[in-house]
């Protein structure tokens, strides 16, 4: 049986913390698209990094974001590395996501839609 591609859109509401967290979670997958000629992916990643830099995050918030979303660690592992409770990592991420969403609101960014395509084999592996 041949591989079949499946396309779907993911919407990121960047004017709220949940949308920012979803974008942070998927940023590696979006960043990979740059290597296949998707210049919009580059713009998304650049804007995300600019928003993070403009959000005025505390050192702890930035570190929590870096461990959990940059290095793909669990909050529990990040907490162990940071020497704090997992609850504190979660709270730092929540506050950071709110601050980043505030930057996107000021920029009047709104909603972002990214189209993904994956073959059925990849979808089965991810499930």
Domain ranges of the chain: 9-114
Average per-residue pLDDT in the chain?
Answer: 89
Q: What is the DSSP string of 43-107?
A: HHHHHHHHHHHHTT--HHHHHHHIIIIIS---HHHHHHHHTS-HHHHHHHHHHHHHHHHHHHHHT
Q: How far apart are CA 107 and CA 32, in angstroms?
A: 25
**Tens digit of each residue's pLDDT (9 = 90 or more) over 65-103:** 999 999 999 999 999 999 999 999 999 999 999 999 999
């Amino acid at each position: 049986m041949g591989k079949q591609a499946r396309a779907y859109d993911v919407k990121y509401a960047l004017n709220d913390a949940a949308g920012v967290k979803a974008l942070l979670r998927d940023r590696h997958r979006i960043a990979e698209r740059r290597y296949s000629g998707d210049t919009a992916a580059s713009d998304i990643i650049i804007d995300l990094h600019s928003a993070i830099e403009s959000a005025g995050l505390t050192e702890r918030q930035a570190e929590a974001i870096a461990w959990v979303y940059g290095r793909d660690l669990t909050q529990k592992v990040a907490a162990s590395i940071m020497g704090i409770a997992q609850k504190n990592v979660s709270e730092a991420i929540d506050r950071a996501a709110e601050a980043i969403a505030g930057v996107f609101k000021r920029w009047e960014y709104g909603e972002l839609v990214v189209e993904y395509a994956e073959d059925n084999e990849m979808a089965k592996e991810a499930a």
